[in-house]
Amino acid sequence: MAAKTERTFIAVKPDGVQRGLMGEIIKRFEQKGFRLVAMKFLQASEDLLKQHYIDLKDRPFYPGLVKYMSSGPVLAMVWEGLNVVKTGRVMLGETNPADSKPGTIRGDFCIEVGRNIIHGSDSVDSANKEISLWFKPEELVCFKSCALDWIYE
């Protein structure tokens, strides 16, 4: 299983933090069987957020997104597991909560796209970039979960 393991970057946005949803989001990823390997609670700087959202810099909503994301604390996390990027995106739901199914994080907790409470990497490449932007290598914890054999064949 270790050869197939990948990591993803998940961040609870300021609206999710303010609404007290951090524990519920962590719970969902843990219950799914993914392993938390890094987490930090911080007030992200505009410089960090501009780098994080660099691919969106030409979009009209970019300045407002950066301003919003720097308006309050965020919970940045790295999760590890088999197909965690793809599965994590499914767990999040669609970017627009109106298109998200019940049972997804956005489907259960969000109404508007501008307050969709969570970010998740959309590919392994972007996950690697985002993880290295938010975390130093020594902040990623490597350990073998005792539940591993009960989650994977």
Is residue 52 part of the annotated active site? The answer reads no
Q: Is 110 helix (H, G, I), strand (E, B) or coil?
A: coil
Question: Binding site annotation covers 7?
Answer: no
Question: Binding site annotation covers 95?
Answer: yes
Question: Binding site annotation covers 116?
Answer: yes
40 touches 27 (CB < 8 A): no
Question: Binding site annotation covers 89?
Answer: yes
118 touches 11 (CB < 8 A): yes
CA atoms within 13 A on the CB side of 148: 12
Q: Which of 7, 35, 52, 119 is catalytic?
A: 119
Known binding residues for ATP: 13, 61, 89, 95, 106, 116
Q: Which residues are catalytic?
A: 119
